[in-house]
Amino acid sequence: MKKILIPTDFSLNSYQTVDYITTLFKNVNCEFYFLNTYKYETSGLNAIEMLQADDEWFEKPKKESLKKLGILVTRKTLKSDNPKHTFHAISESRSLAEGIKENVDKIGIDVVVLTSKGLTSLGATTENILEKIRSCPILIVPPHAKAYNGIHLIIASDFQEKINTEEIERFIKVLENTKTKIGIFVLEEQSMLSGKATDNLEIMLGYLKQLSNKPIDLEFLRPDHKLADYAASHNDKIICVVDKKPDLFRRMGIVQSKVISTLKKLNTNTVLTVHQ
């Protein structure tokens, strides 16, 4: 049984993400966990007012969260005639990144699914999650994403480093009983590829051939082409990007992951982020 964590803020976009994911994984035995986190609005309150706040003030955000989660779980349960799927609700008073991190570890989540705004800005919350959650793959879904008949996963990399395949395999195994085709988009012209990158590419090709019984598509970046151009013309494909292991400056918060700027350019596609 695969376990999928879907944070929700009860917006239309997040509901669309839920429908997209349940359709995408329609042939997979899945437990879907809908996570909503909330905080208490304390701005403008002093210490005395906080002490005098009644139980209703503290209970209201929790009740609202549980009520909306209950409606979502009920709606999906009644709407779904898929015996492979079950739905669960998690309501917590904490930051979203903290809630995701703890539940990934506690439940043993296979994939975290985030809803993007579909703009060139990811949003501070999404960026924070991408920085902090590194123990499982993260799928970022744009508004109005469509689940096609079958899944085409494209791994995009310059292959200057050997790619850790653990999370890629983990995601592919989630897609059991689903028509899945795998491709590679090399972020370099073929004639400019270094020996090291060529070796890493060959290792990846050999590995993927063991995972799939279908031919592996292989494309190279053209001189006048960019990853964003490729993605925009192939928005039926899930683009997989690799977030490199944070160095000292990134861990200190001085610099940001390069994958953030890449993700901002892929706002038309569902994107899978895996970690080195």
pLDDT tens figures, 13-61: 999 999 999 999 999 999 999 999 988 765 554 454 545 455 555 678 8
pLDDT in tens, 54-111: 555 567 888 899 999 999 999 999 888 899 999 999 999 999 999 999 999 999 999 9
Fold of 148-276: Rossmann fold (3.40.50)
pLDDT in tens, 235-252: 889 999 988 766 555 555
Structural domain boundaries in the chain? 1-145, 148-276
Number of alpha carbons in the 13 Å side-chain half-sphere of residue 185: 21
Output helix, strand, coil percentages for the chain, rounded to the nearest 5. Answer: 40, 20, 35
Angle between helical axes of 55-79 and 12-24 (0-180°, round to 10): 40
Judge contact between 126 and 97, C-beta under 8 A.
no
CATH number of this structure's domain 1-145, picked from the four choices 3.40.50.620, 3.40.640.10, 1.25.40.10, 3.20.20.70: 3.40.50.620
Backbone angles phi, psi at 64, to 5 degrees: -65, -40
What is the amino acid identity at position 40? Y
CA dist 96 and 259 (Å) reads 20
Q: How many residues does the chain have?
A: 276
Judge contact between 103 and 109, C-beta under 8 A.
yes
State residue 268's pLDDT score.
Answer: 84
CA dist 208 and 146 (Å) reads 25
- Global pTM reads 0.88
pLDDT in tens, 115-141: 987 665 667 788 888 888 888 999 999
Q: Which of 42-56, 74-88, 142-156, 159-173 has the lowest mean pLDDT?
A: 42-56
Backbone angles phi, psi at 87, to 5 degrees: -130, 140
CA dist 258 and 246 (Å) reads 10
Q: How many CB atoms lie within 10 A of CB 107?
A: 14
Backbone angles phi, psi at 97, to 5 degrees: -60, -40
Q: Which residue has the higher pLDDT, 125 or 11?
A: 11
CA dist 23 and 102 (Å) reads 26
Tokens of residue 227, six digits: 């990853």
The reply to whether 148-276 shares the fold of 1-145 is: yes
pLDDT band at 157 (very low <50, low <70, confident <90, very high): very high
